[in-house]
Structure 1
Amino acid sequence: MSRYTVIGAGGFIGARLVAALRGRGEEVYAPARGDPELFGRELGRVFYCAGLTGDFMVRPFDTVEAHVGLLSHVLRDAKFERLIYLSSTRLYDSLGERGGREDDVLEFDVAAPRNVYDLSKALGENLCLARSGGRAAVARLSNVFDWTDDAGGFLSDLLKRARREKAISLASSPRAGRDYIHADDVIAGLLAMDARAAQGVVNIARGVAISNAEIAEVFAAHGWSLELTGGEAPPHGPTCDVARLAALGVTARDVRQVLGAALSHPQYFTG
């Protein structure tokens, strides 16, 4: 049995990691925010899941503290064996369709307010890769979804709405698309990174962008009406290279199959 620490264990991914690790009999320390024991005990293998997503624009200083401040303290002062830092494939967005590989040189407009997220994640990555003595790796997560109450984002919100409504109208473009990955596949990828002692950066993604129109087709095939009333949209962002993830033995499932399985469950629609 190994010793694990999950920082950010109360979050969407952190809570699932804790459950998965404890489910296989591991010892897991899930410190609360500000827990003084974090720097006084052996942490073992650390998953650093702390961070802000949807509210980073209104909480920029908390975002930097979560992505960089606490992390720097852990890397410098904590006793740990290995650390996996959860970052985001959002860092590729400024590269457009030419981005998506882990070794891409990233580009940021330092004056853009929304880039507080990207820049802080990038700095967190730099500290892990350059200042950890080779003990840290980076997982860049794509657009994670689920239909549980704690899930957020476009597809997650749509799936939760579909529990109550059979006819849904969204002011979104049919052409817009994203590289979605289900939360269970994210956990599989993170555990594989740990088991195989992955180095550097690994994209945790499906590697295929699915458009809103394709999502609407899946809903229609299972009895829902999904009307997309948005206008034209730019092409989807970078498509992630997933060769490194595949080399770890993990291939994320096709989002359309995951959606179909959920929507076809007899108890999915509660009305």
Structure 2
Amino acid sequence: MALYTVFGGRGFIGSEIVGQLEAQGHSTFVPVRDDCTVFERDLGIVIYCAGNGDCKNSPFSVFEANVTLLANLLQKAHFDRLIYVSSTRLYMNGISSNEQANLTVCVNDNRRLFNLTKLVAEELCLNSGRNVCIVRPSNVYGVALNSALFLPSIIRNAINNGKVDMFITKDYAKDYVSVLDVASVVISLVQSNNTAGEIFNVAAGYNISAEKIADLLVEKTNCSIVWHDINSQGELFPITDISKLVDFMPDFKPKDVLFDFANMIDMYKAALT
């Protein structure tokens, strides 16, 4: 059994990765913030899923979490291999979503700092000379009662308030992927000996519109949906290309987001009542 060091191991994705690793019998180490011993001890296999996306309120924390710590690890730390968790948000308003696609920095994107720091982090990984693999997960969902993510938030509003305000258009669509799938793919890739220098999208491979999600929410909770006429800040996401991942992992079959969403609503009903 191997030692895995999981940065961000107490977060939404990281905690699921830790749980799956420990279920396999591996040892895990989840460093606390500002733990200087990470540059002195053997970290084994590193999974870096620490991050910050609050570009408006804490831009320097975004840079620190997404770039600075990673850069120091790549230069100073002792590890066998590392996998960096990036994001398919890099494909926003792009023409293509395969791993070799040209990427666009959108001037009207209020979270472009997030995209820029993810790109910088990826480049540092690829040019570090270390054994590093990069994964770009799409919008990750899962059961997290107090999460501020989109799906948990609208479920809570539907159950607690009987009304959901949608500040997006009906045709606003994204690719949603289960946290269970992301964790298992990350572990499989980092355990492989031939992923160094590679980038993999991790997604369901299809987009779900806000209208489909809203219709299911109404069906399950009898809530009302209030659509606010905005343009979703010009955010358009091409369907995520997962062909490279499927070629590498032919057995990868992502979970059905609408099926899982219905089950999530039932679980939230039981917990919140």
The residue number in structure 2 matching 1:195 is 191
Q: Is 1:100 aligned with 2:80?
A: no
Q: Distance in 2 between matches of 1:222 and 1:113?
A: 33
> Aligned AA for 1:142?
S
RMSD (Å) for aligned C-alpha atoms: 2.3
CA contact (8 A) 1:147 1:157 kept: no
SS in 2 for 1:259: helix
Change in CA separation of 1:231 and 1:31 when aligned onto 2, cut-off 3 Å = same
Q: Normalising by structure 2, report the TM-score.
A: 0.88
The residue number in structure 2 matching 1:258 is 260
Q: Once the 2 structures are TM-superposed, how far is the Cα of residue 18 of structure 1 from its aligned partner?
A: 1.5
Change in CA separation of 1:90 and 1:48 when aligned onto 2, cut-off 3 Å = same
Deviates more, 1:154-163 or 1:227-236: 227-236
SS in 2 for 1:239: coil
The residue number in structure 1 matching 2:112 is 115
CA contact (8 A) 2:70 2:121 kept: yes
Q: Once the 2 structures are TM-superposed, how far is the Cα of residue 245 of structure 1 from its aligned partner?
A: 2.4
Q: Once the 2 structures are TM-superposed, how far is the Cα of residue 109 of structure 1 from its aligned partner?
A: 5.1
Q: Is 1:25 aligned with 2:25?
A: yes
The residue number in structure 1 matching 2:172 is 176
Q: Once the 2 structures are TM-superposed, how far is the Cα of residue 83 of structure 1 from its aligned partner?
A: 0.5
SS in 2 for 1:222: helix
The residue number in structure 2 matching 1:34 is 34
CA contact (8 A) 1:140 1:203 kept: yes
The residue number in structure 1 matching 2:66 is 67
The residue number in structure 2 matching 1:155 is 151
Q: Distance in 2 between matches of 1:104 and 1:242?
A: 13
Q: Distance in 1 between matches of 2:270 and 2:152?
A: 14
> Aligned AA for 1:120?
T
CA contact (8 A) 1:48 1:83 kept: yes
Structure 2 alignment gaps of length 5 or more: none
> Aligned AA for 1:177?
A
Q: Deviation per CA, 1:69-118, whole angstroms, max 9, x where unpaired?
A: 111110111111110101111111142xx121111122325896632111
Q: Distance in 2 between matches of 1:150 and 1:136?
A: 33
Change in CA separation of 1:35 and 1:207 when aligned onto 2, cut-off 3 Å = same
1:224 aligned residue (222, 232, 241): 222
Q: Distance in 1 between matches of 2:174 and 2:220?
A: 21
Q: Distance in 1 between matches of 2:123 and 2:209?
A: 32
Q: Distance in 1 between matches of 2:109 and 2:265?
A: 39
Identity %: 29
The residue number in structure 2 matching 1:12 is 12
SS in 2 for 1:139: strand
Q: Once the 2 structures are TM-superposed, how far is the Cα of residue 167 of structure 1 from its aligned partner?
A: 4.2
CA contact (8 A) 1:163 1:269 kept: no
Q: Deviation per CA, 1:229-270, whole angstroms, max 9, x where unpaired?
A: 223646841211011222323222121111122334595363
CA contact (8 A) 1:48 1:85 kept: yes
Structure 1 alignment gaps of length 5 or more: none
Structure number with the bigger relative contact order (C-alpha 8 A, sep ≥ 6) is 2
Q: Deviation per CA, 1:21-65, whole angstroms, max 9, x where unpaired?
A: 122221111111111220111111110011102x22221111111
CA contact (8 A) 1:4 1:46 kept: yes
Change in CA separation of 1:121 and 1:265 when aligned onto 2, cut-off 3 Å = closer
CA contact (8 A) 1:216 1:226 kept: no
Q: Distance in 1 between matches of 2:221 and 2:96?
A: 37
> Aligned AA for 1:121?
K
